[in-house]
Amino acid sequence: MRHGYTGIPRWALGIAAVGALFVLLPLAAMAARVDWPHLLPLLSSEASLTALGLSLRTAAASTVLCLLFGVPLALVLARTSFRGQRLLRSFVLLPLVLPPVVGGIALLYTFGRQGLLGRSLEIAGVQIAFSTTAVVLAQTFVALPFLVVSLEGALRSAGSRYEAVAATLGARPGTVLRRVTLPLVLPGLASGAVLSFARSLGEFGATLTFAGSLQGVTRTLPLEIYLQRETDADAAVALSLLLVAVAVIVVGLSYRGPSPAGGDSGPVAGSRTGRTTGRISGVRREAP
């Protein structure tokens, strides 16, 4: 369709260019401010490396938790209908619009020493608040909706007809999920996981509130940047650049999207109905 009629008015193109600049310009401004000659020493300071390592580990753990909770949640939201389903969806998606610091406070009153579950956990000898576990929980809390939204969109556009056929062929629900549903929505699942990972990596407010800022334990990269900004602006900018680079890589990977099972004709070939696949937003339509 590259040479087809686009139907976009000229003025929309102009405004789109301004919009793109609005995103690119601050990044360029930051890049211009980077102390390039000292970039490597700034990035390889012990504090930076510790924060980066912690960030990668906790974001990976959060992504696993998001998959664990998010896949069943998306299945329930996309494939079933029951009273209160809209309400459930609203609550699952709430962290998308909730200020993260509010999420942090809510988590504190749940898992904190005086919290709803925290008190019982304390008796059992488990303390979560202000630990690395708290970082993972805070990140999962804010990142879960990304996975659910992305996967639910993919599930809905994939439809349940393949699953119905699989069931009539004698496949039990677990087999259908493993051999049909998940392979079909793999692009949506992958992009959801990547987005969750990226969101976890950037988490700041909820982490600071619920987990604090203890070097090597809870001080992730964003927290380190915020701290450095007060004392060493060059280090903060260098670390910011690092986060931007990671984000660009992550988004780039998810946008290209892996094709399930390495099919060279794409994930939806064979469907003459122009099935949609969930990509970055779960609503990207792939040309048939």
Partner 1 sequence: MTFSLQAAVADRHFDVTLNLAEGETVAVLGPNGAGKSTLLSVVAGLLRPDAGHAELDGRLLFNLGPGRKAWTAPHRRGTALLAQEALLFPHLSALENVAFGPRSAGVPRGRAREAARHWLGEVDAAELAGRRPGELSGGQAQRVALARALAAGPELLLLDEPMAALDVHAAPLLRRLLKRVLAGRRAIIVTHDVLDAYMLADRVIVLEDGAVTEAGPTRDVLQRPRSRFAAGLAGLNLLAGTVTATGLRTAAGLDLAGGHEDAADPGQAGVAAFPPSAVSVFLDEAHGSPRNSFPVTVTDLEPHGDQIRVRAGELSADVTPAASADLGLAPGSRIYFVVKAAAVSVYPA
* Interacting residues toward partner 1 by CB under 8 A: 161-162, 164-173, 175-176, 179-180, 183-184, 186, 260-261, 263-273
Give the angle subtended at the CA of 105 by the CAs of 220 and 144, to the nearest 5°.
Answer: 65
- Give me the least distance between CB of 176 and partner 1, in Å please: 8
HEC states along 55-84?
Answer: HHHHHHHHHHHHHHHHHHHHHHHHHCCCCC
- Give me the least distance between CB of 186 and partner 1, in Å please: 8
Residue 196 half-sphere exposure toward CB, CA atoms < 13 A? 35
What span, in angstroms and rounded, lies between the C-alpha atoms of 72 and 87?
17
* 171/243 with CB nearer partner 1: 171
* 183/212 with CB nearer partner 1: 183
- Give me the least distance between CB of 188 and partner 1, in Å please: 14
**Token couple for 177:** 């999920």
- Give me the least distance between CB of 280 and partner 1, in Å please: 21
* Alpha helices (runs of H) in 159-232, residue ranges in sequence order: 161-168, 173-176, 182-184, 186-202, 205-211, 221-231
- Give me the least distance between CB of 82 and partner 1, in Å please: 15
Comparing C-alpha atoms, which of 170, 197, 169 is closest to residue 62? 197
* 161/256 with CB nearer partner 1: 161
- In the block, tokens 């924060």 appear at 51
* 109/162 with CB nearer partner 1: 162
Residues 6+ apart with CB under 8 A from 142: 95, 100, 103, 199, 200, 203, 206
- Give me the least distance between CB of 286 and partner 1, in Å please: 12
Residues 6+ apart with CB under 8 A from 31: 241
Q: How far is CA 41 from CA 48, 72, 244, in A?
A: 10, 44, 18
* 81/265 with CB nearer partner 1: 265
Residue 75 contacts residue 148 (beta carbons within 8 Å): no
* 232/286 with CB nearer partner 1: 286
- Give me the least distance between CB of 278 and partner 1, in Å please: 15
* 162/226 with CB nearer partner 1: 162
